[in-house]
A = this chain, B = another copy of it.
Amino acid sequence: MTEFPEDASPPQTDFDAFHQRLRGCYADLPKRLVQLADFVTASPDEVALGTVSSLAGQAGVQPSTVVRFARTLGFAGFSDMQAVFRDRLRVRNVAYRDRVNALHRVDGEPLEASVIFNGFYEAALDSLRALQAHLLPDRLEAAVTTLAQAQCLYLLGLRRSMPVIRYLSYLLAKLDIRHQIIGLETGMEEESFAHAGAQDAALVLSYTAYAPRTIELFQALEARHVPVISMTDNAASPVIPQSGLWLEVHEADFQGFRSNAASMVLVSTLAAAIAERRG
């Protein structure tokens, strides 16, 4: 078990050192070497996996210039420089203790960050895979149709779902699609859809345990005959609309933090598909 010293100098990779050097002499570099420097920073993967001539071709210089570039930066030759880029590409297996170990702190020490990372990483992957497996193309298409026809889109999702809703709002704004978030101001939720009707549509996000306020607002929307699309995790969820247009999303959780990877991908899809449909 390696103890990480609290005040140790930050770990600096050869790759970082290279870029530091590069920045240092960038200004004094001749034309062709600048050209290469730009290419090399833009596509480090090409350097790692390519050959002298493949790089030369892509960067628009001669093979010899590539070697010169490497020597200018203090390497013995191209291969020497490439080694630095290859090393960066190697997968550093993030320390992966047993999940069991991860959940129980054996000696009162804080969990290693990489273990926590792995938890969130796996949760995100699980959520995405589950979504991919369960998503019904026809249902999705129908949802897009409904949302695309709306004059104004009302977005509802409180607590954990609020960040997802905000993200969707950002996307819709970029795509110039009229919309309105419900619940930005506590206590004013109903007012925000005072003018909503059958010509509009709403998207509701709610996962267990369903926030009571979300359920209330969902019912208010249905009472106003606003077409509702729901993203939720259960066929018996309280926010399934009358129309039956709901999308199944299961977010895995890690230590009580629920992933939102699947929701993010799905709302991105909806935003892009609506824009696409409208032309």
| Residues of A participating in the B interface, judged by any CB pair closer than 8 Å | 4, 6, 8, 10-13, 15-16, 18-19, 22-23, 41, 44-45, 48-49, 86, 88-92, 94-95, 110-114, 116-117, 120-121, 124-125, 128, 131-145, 160, 162-163, 166-167, 170-171, 234-236, 243-245, 255, 257, 260-261, 264-266, 268-270, 272-273, 276-277, 279
Contact = CB atoms under 8 A, between A and B. Distances in A.
B139 A10 contact: yes
Contacts of A269: 113, 116-117, 120
Number of copies: 2
Given A41-B235, A112-B137, 16 more contacts: A4-B145, A11-B138, A88-B134, A94-B135, A110-B279, A111-B273, A113-B137, A116-B269, A116-B276, A117-B135, A117-B140, A117-B269, A124-B124, A124-B265, A162-B170, A163-B166
A248 to B, nearest CB: 9
Given A125-B128, A163-B167, A142 B265 contact: no
A276 B111 contact: yes
Secondary structure call for the A interface: helix
A110 B136 CA distance: 18
